[in-house]
Chain A
């Protein structure tokens, strides 16, 4: 009886949380299938009213828009490059922090944390000036660099925690088996830390993909403007009457890569991969 009540409680709880989280997403999707006229007139229902549906029309409009396609390309490119660079650097740094004793180790970790806590907005002004002087304003590197500096700390902390979990004997066994330090790292430690690497990669990608402040401040053309910024410039024909349904379709398209990415990497983040390495 008690067990039964517990199960029901769990289900109700889960349902509440799901509704809370997914309602806005569902509403955006609903909006993206309504025609512009229906939205302007006011169409309060979840499902489009008669004649108010737009079918896939909004989506094809969005995808045919050159500016939008360009923004998607920018976002994917910038986020991927920032993620790869950030995770690669963080892996090496985290390994050193977890395994080696060196002067200034505490300093590196503390600095990383301080950077992560720094308010993003406060850096926009200086970066704007600097980037114009360096000539990387409105370019991919101009966004990749700040993304990396804000995601590296998180990636380093995540990964060093993972590296610390790996028994040191693994590496020593590899060395006795004839591996150089690099081979031991590449063939034993990195595969074992894979869940950590993927976690760090996803977090980094999220940050870069969702960033709006840098995206809108450090770009001026579609040369490097990422999706969140591009959506805010998406005004359509009438500047006083923003195309809400088109924007909704754009937002859905912008969300798709993230969802795909999470579903893909979720399988890689298998907890307990190190089980069986040692006794137990």
Chain B
């Protein structure tokens, strides 16, 4: 077990394009670190640099205090689970798991002990003599994990290990990985583009975009205090709503109306022209559910509900609004960066399941401006971080 330190890591390909640009991340001993970002953000490249499958252009990679930049993968003593599992099809499950130990020239008796222990942990006992071709996706995934845990590696590296499983199995394996990591207490770096995995598994999460580290924080901090508009839009599902806003005095003007803003937020943002306001769907509520008296009148507005999705425990409502062309362009750009599509400018609000709002009808909603973030549209920086 060991800590992994990345110092100013840069990866440039032949054409000079920096796939990873000046990234510094410290993974503490025993920590579960998540690398997350849209496709092409360099997270997998960074992982492959840790394990040694990719050369490091500049910067230092330290594992357990030792600089490993020039060590071959086999000398780094890390174990890795590949996205497509990369099991050896000509070997049985037993031999697949035993493979690293055979290479290390262990005695047969010790190998047997270790393999049986791993197979018991992963519930693979009855499959040991089968070949990978005859296993289901989830079983293959467990064999890949078995091969990783069988030797005493300094750290585990996961490269989108669950992306090939169906949704139900993914949920089960996610819990399984979390449990295993807690029990073994081993340093883990986990690459994913799935934010549920990122939020639930990680002690800390590193959000990357186009090769650069955007924010490195706990899942809660990422969700509540995103440092910029990219992190705000990437973390959370459904994503944060972005609305054009201007702040004058203590009031913020949104396409739906003008609302009072907490003094601290107003102070930092007043008079800065057109800003981007970010409000999460759950920071809206149906006034009729909350009870008319309990809501501050100055924070309510009337909206036309276009579509409503009832999910049982909650419901989403969609409220389209008109925006100026440049704001629309900016929102489109943002959507592209986080790998999603926005067809129209609309507000997504998450309402209480008890709300009786009807589709194609007007409703009175409240907005929680205490939780609102305001972003500089030019730099994307969060002007209200920490408040």
Contact = CB atoms under 8 A, between A and B. Distances in A.
Interface of A: 167, 169-170, 172-180, 183, 188, 191-192, 194, 273-279
Nearest to A190: B90
Given A172-B73, A277-B85, A277-B87, 6 more contacts: A169-B82, A176-B52, A177-B103, A178-B103, A277-B84, A277-B132
A91 to B, nearest CB: 16
A179 B100 CA distance: 8
A175 B74 contact: yes
Interface core residue of A174, A180, A194 (most chain B CB under 10 Å): A174
B385 interface: no
5 contacts: A169-B86, A173-B82, A191-B90, A276-B89, A277-B132
Contacts of B86: 167, 169-170, 172-173, 277-278
A276 B100 contact: no
Contacts of A179: 74, 103
Interface core residue of A188, A192, A277 (most chain B CB under 10 Å): A277
B103 A278 contact: no
Interface in B79-125: 79-80, 82-90, 99-100, 103-104
Interface stretch (B133-141, B181-189, B251-259, B358-366): B133-141
Contact of A172 (B53, B88, B137, B164): B53
B7 interface: no
Contacts of A275: 89, 133
A177 to B, nearest CB: 4
B51 interface: yes
Contacts of B88: 170, 173-174, 188, 192, 277
A176 B132 contact: no
Contact of B89 (A177, A180, A183, A277): A277
Contacts of A276: 87, 89, 131-135, 140
Say which size band chain B's interface belongs to.
20 to 34
- Which 10 A/B pairs are nearest by Cβ-Cβ distance? A276-B133, A278-B84, A169-B86, A276-B132, A173-B86, A177-B100, A279-B164, A277-B89, A178-B103, A191-B90
Contacts of A169: 82, 84, 86
B72 interface: yes
Contact of B53 (A175, A180, A188, A278): A175
Contact of A178 (B74, B82, B135): B74
A169 to B, nearest CB: 4
Interface of B: 51-53, 72-74, 77-80, 82-90, 99-100, 103-104, 131-135, 137, 140, 147, 151, 164
Contacts of B87: 173, 276-278
Contacts, number: 85
Contacts of A183: 103
A169 B147 CA distance: 14
Nearest to B137: A279
Contacts of A279: 83-85, 137, 140, 164
Nearest to B164: A279
A176 B73 contact: yes
Nearest to A173: B86
B90 A192 contact: yes
A116 to B, nearest CB: 30
B106 to A, nearest CB: 11
Nearest to B76: A176
A277 B100 CA distance: 17
Nearest to A276: B133
B19 to A, nearest CB: 17
A52 B133 CA distance: 58
Nearest to A168: B86
B213 to A, nearest CB: 24
A90 B125 CA distance: 41
B255 to A, nearest CB: 45
A170 B88 CA distance: 7
A274 B89 contact: yes
A279 B87 CA distance: 10
A200 B224 CA distance: 62
A149 to B, nearest CB: 32
A194 B91 CA distance: 13
Nearest to B82: A169
A275 B133 CA distance: 6
B157 to A, nearest CB: 8
Nearest to A192: B90
A26 B256 CA distance: 92
A253 to B, nearest CB: 37
Contacts of B78: 176
B83 to A, nearest CB: 8
A183 B104 CA distance: 12
Contacts of A192: 88-90
Nearest to B150: A177
Nearest to B144: A173
A190 to B, nearest CB: 10
Contacts of A277: 84-89, 132
A278 B135 CA distance: 11
Contact of B73 (A167, A175, A191, A273): A175
